[in-house]
Structure 1
């Protein structure tokens, strides 16, 4: 089985979104693996050598930010958020699709605005030359990544997320 066949068999998305989902999940998986290695090395070093890995806390915080915001677009366009569907059986499929579209518009608008505000914080971090305490990593890079992933989530929600929502019938 070739890689494309494997990708098609394991991802429900179609076209470029399928490749984007794989790439983002690969980033998240590699980040999680590196966090695991870092934690093991830190604990091993602390208990057997009396010295932990310098900057573990900073790297863990950055890794969690990368992990969470790499998965955010995937969770959003797959509709993996918590949904309360108490009244779904009482309303028609058309009303549910309209409400879903409204929620997609609200989520996308909110994420876009959030991305704008976060990007402003990143710009301020660059102007002030803020760095992490121990490893001296520029804070603005991580904050910019969060802003870009918020924008990506908003854009993907408005494109593939709305398409997926409108083409899927509910029981």
Structure 2
């Protein structure tokens, strides 16, 4: 089976969005596999060889950042966030749509400005030459990645809000 056929049959998204989702999930899956292998090697080395893997904590922190921020745009696009709908039965359908669009706008705006600040911190890390404590790896690249993925998530959040507004208006 060709990869494109597999993606079309396993992803609800269509076209390039499905490929982006596949790529981000592949990054997350490879990162998770790396974290699993790192943990196994660290535990094996710690208990059987009396020597842990140096920098495991730093690598785990970076891996978790890569994993979380690779999945965040996908979860956002699929509407996988927690939603409280206690008042939905009391409010009208139009008001629910307006509030949904307002919340999508508010969240995407917040993520955008948060990403701007994170990117400024990444630039400062690059200027100062900040590195991790044990492995001496540059910190700025991971922080830049977090900023870029926050911008992508902001874009998917507002796109999702508008998409849901038009899709639900047809129902």
Classify the TM-score, shorter chain: over 0.9
SS at match of 1:90: coil
- Show the 5 A alignment for 1:106-145: 106-145=106-145
| 1:79–1:161 Cα contact (<8 Å) kept | no
| 1:165 shift after superposition | 4.7
* Aligned equivalent of 1:150: 150
* Aligned equivalent of 1:99: 99
* Aligned equivalent of 1:89: 89
* Aligned equivalent of 1:62: 62
SS at match of 1:127: helix
| 1:78–1:161 Cα contact (<8 Å) kept | no
Q: TM-score, normalised by structure 2?
A: 0.94
Unaligned runs of 5+ in 2: none
SS at match of 2:89: helix
- Show the 5 A alignment for 1:27-66: 27-66=27-66
| 1:77–1:161 Cα contact (<8 Å) kept | no
Equivalenced residue count is 170
How many angstroms apart in 1 are the aligned matches of 2:61 and 2:161? 29
